[in-house]
């Protein structure tokens, strides 16, 4: 095997674009393509498959990239140590999370990484569709989501329920709300998740059952925005406690009711791979 071929493959695997990589490495696109083709012939298996204008790693390509990353990062460490007297054992883990998730929960999930000096973690917020696409294309190592995903013949997902958080009626201090039948709930202003989210469906069912007749001031599918609206509008909100943890602790908001049998679920999703990122296993250990 020619390590120059592997070096070119590694750069294309990182970017997913042949033209951009050729420009970066100052070689022609045809020469770069030929180098990768020779490497694939040597391995006896394709490393990429083309999807539109983008090159997507095959499973063999993913494995090759993992090894190539270690090989060339070790080479960089060798240069740093021998030429500059520096050492580096840093590990990088890329974590994607749905933009709709509680930032407090994401922060709690990565808590172990915060205290490890040799671990570099990269957080990426995106839509659920983007999240699963990035995971399928090996651009992130693990995905955090508040909706589950099912496997298929093409993509074999591994999904683990990390936690389920109770959902409460949250609002400004001073409301006379003690039970689901409280008159103070009737005709109130609310900030809510949109109608396509499970939490909203649960709220709508309870609202109809107890005749709350809500006035919906705003809707937000982003938990961070829902938190701000709950804090600043003076309206009631249906939201997991963890989202407004700081406001509850500081007395800016109050939890009035915990909704019966309504939960926000948090999942960790990975792809079934021959080689699991070591930090993924460590992070998931806490959740049994």
Arithmetic mean of pLDDT, 9-21: 88
Of 24, 211, 234, 105, which is closest to residue 12 (Cα–Cα)?
24
Long-range contacts of 178-183 (CB under 8 A, 24+ apart): 178/256, 179/257, 180/206, 180/210, 180/257, 180/260, 181/210
CA angle 269, 271, 276 (to 5 degrees): 100
State pLDDT tens for residues 162-174.
999 899 999 999 9
3-state SS track over 70-99: HHHHHHHHHHHHHHHCCCCCCEEEEEEEEC
State pLDDT tens for residues 175-209.
999 999 999 999 999 999 998 888 899 999 999 99
- Strands laid side by side in the 236-240 sheet: 119-126, 91-98, 142-145, 254-271, 157-171, 236-240, 189-192, 215-219
Q: How far is CA 58 from CA 129, 207, 262, in A?
A: 20, 49, 40
CA 126 to CA 270: how far, in whole Å? 16
What letter would DSSP give residue 59? Answer: H
- Residue 38, pLDDT > 50, answer yes
Residue 253's pLDDT is 94
Is the pTM higher than 0.85?
no
Q: How far is CA 10 from CA 4, 54, 136, 165, 225, in A?
A: 10, 15, 18, 41, 39
State pLDDT tens for residues 207-234.
999 999 999 999 998 888 988 999 999 9
Residue 138's pLDDT is 78
What letter would DSSP give residue 147? Answer: S
Residue keyed to tokens 């500059």: 84
- Residue 78, pLDDT > 70, answer no
Long-range contacts of 130-133 (CB under 8 A, 24+ apart): 131/96, 131/97, 131/98, 132/269
**8 A C-beta contact, residue 170 and residue 223:** no
Domains and CATH numbers, the chain: 3-84 (1.10.10.10), 91-163+267-285 (3.40.190.10), 165-263 (3.40.190.10)
- Residue 155, pLDDT > 70, answer no
- Strands (E) located in 78-178: 91-98, 119-126, 142-145, 157-171
CA 157 to CA 19: how far, in whole Å? 31
Arithmetic mean of pLDDT, 59-85: 76
Arithmetic mean of pLDDT, 45-71: 85
Residues facing residue 215 across a β-bridge = 189
State pLDDT tens for residues 97-150.
998 888 888 988 888 787 776 778 889 998 888 888 888 877 888 999 988 876
């Amino acid at each position: 095997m020619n390590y120059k071929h592997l070096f070119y493959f590694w750069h294309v695997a990182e970017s997913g674009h042949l033209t951009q990589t050729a420009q970066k490495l100052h070689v022609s696109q045809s020469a770069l393509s030929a180098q990768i083709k020779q490497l694939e012939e040597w391995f006896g298996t394709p490393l990429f498959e083309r999807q539109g204008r983008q090159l997507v790693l095959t499973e063999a390509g993913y494995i090759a990239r993992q090894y190539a990353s270690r090989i060339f990062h070790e080479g960089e460490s060798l240069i740093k140590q021998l030429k500059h007297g520096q050492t580096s054992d840093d590990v990088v883990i890329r974590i994607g999370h749905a933009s709709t998730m509680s930032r407090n929960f994401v922060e709690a999930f990565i808590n172990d990484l915060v205290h490890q000096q040799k671990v570099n973690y990269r957080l990426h917020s995106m839509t659920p569709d983007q999240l699963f696409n990035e995971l399928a294309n090996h651009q992130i190592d693990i995905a955090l989501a508040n909706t589950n995903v099912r496997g298929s013949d093409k993509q074999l997902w591994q999904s683990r329920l990390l936690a389920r958080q109770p959902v409460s009626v949250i609002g400004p201090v001073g409301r006379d709300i003690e039970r689901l039948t409280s008159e103070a709930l009737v005709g109130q202003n609310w900030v809510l998740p949109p109608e396509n989210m499970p939490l909203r469906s649960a709220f709508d069912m309870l609202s109809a059952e107890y005749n709350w007749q809500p006035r919906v001031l705003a809707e937000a599918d982003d938990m961070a925005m829902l938190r701000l609206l709950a804090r600043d509008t003076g309206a009631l909100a249906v939201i997991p406690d963890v989202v407004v943890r700081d406001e509850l602790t500081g007395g800016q908001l109050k939890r009035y009711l915990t909704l019966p049998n309504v939960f926000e679920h948090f999942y960790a999703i990975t792809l079934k791979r021959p080689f699991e990122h070591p930090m993924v296993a460590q992070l998931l250990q806490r959740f049994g």
